[in-house]
Amino acid sequence: MKMLKTIDLKKIYGKGENEVYALKGINIEIEPHKFTSIVGPSGSGKSTFLHCVAGLDKPTSGRVYLDDMNIYNLNDDQLSQVRRQEFGFIFQNFNLIPVINVYDNIILPVSIDKKKENKEYINNLIEKLGLKSQIMKFPNELSGGQQQRVAIARALANKPSVIFADEPTGNLDSKTTAEVVEILKMCISEFNQTLVMITHNEDIAKTADRILTIIDGKIIDDLRNKEML
């Protein structure tokens, strides 16, 4: 299990009078094998923080470590490899490929890495996520909840160290939201994942091991589960 850490993480958009400080020097360690939720109002810097930590958006300054490796010291190809092999991504809009079936969507990260999928592991994922009867279907033949399950399976296909989820339940009804959250929490226990999730849903946030509150580009609260009991 690998530790994520940021040191003085800053992100500035624009220049001169148009400068906007999206992140203002964030220092945080994200513990492995835990569920960390990130909350805060729209425009607070939540998504910018997640994208910078996940290697999707280069910070203006500061460092992001995966164990002892500063991911922004890597070249583009090396960083892409880290994203494929160490990180899994789940977004609000599923981002499935419409012209390939469910199974091929799931193994896409493995295929991009030019590896042969571990069929036992992939089939176990499919079984646990309740997708066994859906694998030959195309995304447009699935419900929103089913599509998000496929996105979760895809995020896990390469056995990543960390799953980053940006409002993964934003387009789902309350019943499906509860199911997806339980699946993601199962990933922590069953597959030893670390889960970092942005959410506006207070009920979801309260189920996390830790809640980080970001406002105006700063972490203004860091609440552990034991403190919430």
How far is residue 160's CA from residue 81's CA, in Å, rounded to a whole number?
A: 11
**What average pLDDT does the structure give for the chain?**
91
Helix (H) or strand (E) holding 30: strand 20-30
- Phi and psi based region of residue 30 (left: phi greater than 0; alpha: psi -120 to 50; beta: remaining): beta
Does the structure show a pLDDT above 70 at 45?
yes
The count of residues in the chain is 229
Most confident range (mean pLDDT) of 121-125, 138-142, 156-160, 172-176 is 138-142
How far is residue 107's CA from residue 110's CA, in Å, rounded to a whole number?
A: 5
pLDDT, residue 226, reads: 59
Q: Which domain holds residue 133?
A: 4-228
Compute, in degrees rounded to 10, the torsion defined by CA atoms 58, 59, 65, 69: 50
Calculate mean pLDDT across residues 211-227: 89
How far is residue 188's CA from residue 1's CA, in Å, rounded to a whole number?
A: 11
Q: What is the pTM of this model?
A: 0.90
**Which CATH number covers residue 101?**
3.40.50.300
pLDDT, residue 93, reads: 86
Calculate mean pLDDT across residues 155-172: 89
pLDDT, residue 229, reads: 43
Calculate mean pLDDT across residues 185-205: 88
Higher pLDDT, 176 or 63: 63
Up-side HSE of residue 209: CA atoms within 13 Å toward CB?
13
Quote the distance between the C-alpha of residue 62 and its chain's center: 21
Calculate mean pLDDT across residues 8-37: 94
pLDDT band at 169 (very low <50, low <70, confident <90, very high): confident
Residue 1 CB neighbours (<10 A): 12
Up-side HSE of residue 178: CA atoms within 13 Å toward CB?
2
Name the residue with tokens 């019943």. 175
Quote the distance between the C-alpha of residue 74 and its chain's center: 20
Task: Give the chain's domain count.
Answer: 1
pLDDT, residue 228, reads: 46
Under 8 Å CB-to-CB from 123, ≥6 apart: which residues? Answer: none
Residue 31 CB neighbours (<10 A): 14
pLDDT band at 63 (very low <50, low <70, confident <90, very high): very high
